[in-house]
Structure 1
Amino acid sequence: MSEAATPVRDPIQETIAPPGTLWSHMKSDPQYAPEHLALDAVRRLGPEAAQWAERMRLDRPGVSPDALAALAIRRFTTLARISGAVSGATGLPGAVLDLGVLAWTQSRMVLHIAAAYGEDPAATERATDLLVLQRVHKAAEGARLALGVAAGRERASRMFTDVADRPLTGVMLKLGFRLGQMAGVHAARRMFAKMVPGASVVLGTWVNSAATKDLAARARAHFSPA
C-alpha cells in the first residue's frame, strides 16, 4: 500500500505577525520603524518568496509572471483584509499591533510580486523598493540613506537602549504613526476605531483591503518589465 503524499504547505496561507525581535527594535527606535521592518522583511521573508515562486513555476509549467503576481495579490489582500479583525487587543496597543501586522503582510506581498517577475526578493535592494513603494520615502536614494542609519542604530541597540527611559505612550504613538504611514493607513483613525466596539472590524477590513490593493498596483508597475 502506497503512502499518501504529504501536502505541500503554502506559506501564503499563514498570517504571520512581525517577530518579537523586530517589535523590540521598532519600539526602541520608532522613528525608523519602517526601515527596521523593511530590513527584517527582506531577511526573513525574501527566501520564502523565492521558494514560493520556484515551487509555483514547477507546479504550473508555463505560468506567466502576471498570473503569479495576481495569485500573490489575491492571497495577501485577503490576509490583509482579515488581519484587522483578528486582533483582540484594544486601544492604542491594539491599533499599533494591527498596523504592524498590516505593514508586515504588505511587505510579504511586495516581495512575492518581485519574485513573480523574476527579481530576487532576498536582495538588499528590495528593502529600498519596499520603502519607496510603501511611500515612506519618495526616492530610492533617501530610502537607502535611511536604511543605512537604521541598520547602524540596530547594531547599537544591542549594546545600548533608552526605551526604558522614554514614556511608553509617546513611543507607541510615534510607532503607530510611522507604521500607519508605511501601511497606507491613517493611524489616528485606526486608533479611534479600536475604541468603538465593532468599528475596528468594519473599518479595518475595508481600509486594509484598499491600501493593499493600491500598493499591489504600484508594485506590479515597478517590477513588471512592461
Structure 2
Amino acid sequence: MPDTPRQNGDTDPLRDRVLTRSLLRSASADPQHLPELLAAFAVRHMGPVAARSVARMREAHPGAAPAELRSRALTRGKRRTVTEGAFVGGPFLVLIPFAFCVAILSQAQTCLELAALDGRDPTDPERAAELLVLQGVYEDTGRARTALADIRLPEDGATPATGPRPGRTATMRRLVMRMARLLGLIAPEGEAPAAGPPGRLPLWLVQTGRYTLLAAVLVVGMVAPLVWLPYMALSYDRATDQLLARATGFYFGEPPAARPKRVARLQPEMAASALRALLSVLVPLGFVIGVVAANLRLADRGWPVLAIALTAASIGVGAVWQWRRRRRGLAG
C-alpha cells in the first residue's frame, strides 16, 4: 500500500486539522482518558517529527556540545508552543479546545526531542508513559504504562467518537479544564497551595490573582476577541518553562541552564499581538461611541442597537483575523 503524506511525514501534525479534530472527538467521548489519548497520539504522530528535527539539528551543528543542542531544542520548542497554541486556535473562545490540544502536542514534541537528544527512541511507546509522568498525571512510568495499555486511537479502529449527546456543554467544560491542567495553566486537582519563598506573596494569593485575571480576560474577550491571544501566549510561556524544566531533569538529571538576566524587551511577535489586541478593543469601543453619538434606537430603546453593534464588531474583528491568517497559511 503506498505511503500517505501523513505516513511519510510530508504533513505537520500540529497543523493537520483533520488529525486534531479526530483526536478531540475521541477525547470528548472519553474525557477521563484525555491525557493517555494525547500522550499516545503524540508519540505516534510527533515522535517521527521529533526524530527528524533532532537529526537535522545535529547535521546543522555538527560541532555543538550536547548542552547547546538542548538549549536550541528548548528555545525552539517553547517558541513553537506559544505561537501554535495561542495563534493557531484563533481569537474565538469556542476554538480554545483546539488551541489547547495543539499546545499540548507542541509541548510533547519538545519533550520527545529531548528524549531523542538523550539517545532514546522518540517513537517508542515508552515515551508516552514518560510524558504522562512529566505532565504530573502519574507518579511513575509503571502506572502510566498500565493505563496506556487499553488506549486505542481512532486510526486503530476505535469506535468513532461522535460526542455525548446529553451534557455536552459540561463534557466540553471538563475537557477544557483537564487540558488546562495538563498545560500547567491551572493547578492540578487536589494540589494544596504551597508556601512561597520568604518575602514573596503566598501561592494561594498568586493563584487567586491568576484566576481573577483569567475571568477578566474571558469577559473582555467576549467583546474584544484578540485580547485572548497575548494573555494565552504569556501563560503558555510560563507553563512550558515549567514542563521543560521537569523534562530536562528527567532525561539529563539536571535542570536547564538558567537564562541570563537581560533587560526586559518586548519581542516582535508579542508586540504585534498586543497591538492587535488593542485594536480589537478600539473597534468595539468605536462602534459604541458611534451608536451613542448617533442616538440610534430600536423599539425606542438604545441598548438593543448597542448589543448588536458590539456583537457585530467582535465577530467581525475575529473573522477578519482568521481570514488573514488562513490566507497567509494557504499562501505559505
Which bracket does the TM-score occupy, shorter chain normalised? 0.7 to 0.9
Q: Which amino acid aligns with 2:86?
A: G
Superposition RMSD in Å:
3.0
- Contact 2:21/2:98 (8 A) holds in 1: no
SS at match of 2:70: helix
- Rounded to whole Å, the distance in 1 between the matches of 2:66 and 2:163 is 44
> Which digits, 9 at most, give the CA deviation of each residue in 1:112-171, with x for residues without a partner?
111122111111110011111011222222212221233399968426x57343322112
Q: Which piece of structure 1 moves more, 161-170 or 141-150?
A: 161-170
* 230, 254, 263: which one aligns with 1:202: 230
Gaps of 5+ in 2: 1-9, 188-209, 255-332
Cα distance, 1:175 vs structure 2: 0.9
- Contact 2:39/2:132 (8 A) holds in 1: yes
Q: Identity of aligned pairs, percent?
A: 29
Bigger RCO of structures 1 and 2 (CA < 8 A, at least 6 apart): 1
SS at match of 2:151: helix
- Determine whether 1:120 maps to 2:121: yes
- Determine whether 1:16 maps to 2:15: yes
- Rounded to whole Å, the distance in 2 between the matches of 1:44 and 1:152 is 11
- Rounded to whole Å, the distance in 1 between the matches of 2:109 and 2:61 is 21
> Which digits, 9 at most, give the CA deviation of each residue in 1:50-85, with x for residues without a partner?
112122222221322222221111112112223324
- Contact 1:39/1:147 (8 A) holds in 2: yes
Q: Which has the larger radius of gyration?
A: 2
* 83, 86, 89: which one aligns with 1:84: 86
Over 3 Å counting, the alpha-carbon distance change for 1:157 and 1:196 in structure 2 is farther
Cα distance, 1:86 vs structure 2: 4.6
- Rounded to whole Å, the distance in 2 between the matches of 1:72 and 1:14 is 18
> Which digits, 9 at most, give the CA deviation of each residue in 1:155-207, with x for residues without a partner?
68426x57343322112111112211211112995974344235422321211
Partner of 2:67: 66
Over 3 Å counting, the alpha-carbon distance change for 1:195 and 1:154 in structure 2 is farther
Cα distance, 1:15 vs structure 2: 5.4
- Determine whether 1:224 maps to 2:252: yes
Over 3 Å counting, the alpha-carbon distance change for 1:195 and 1:35 in structure 2 is farther
Alignment of 1:1-226 (within 5 A): 16=15, 19-82=20-83, 83-91=85-93, 93-151=94-152, 157-158=158-159, 163-186=163-186, 189=211, 192=215, 193-197=217-221, 198-224=226-252
Q: Which piece of structure 1 moves more, 128-137 or 16-25?
A: 16-25
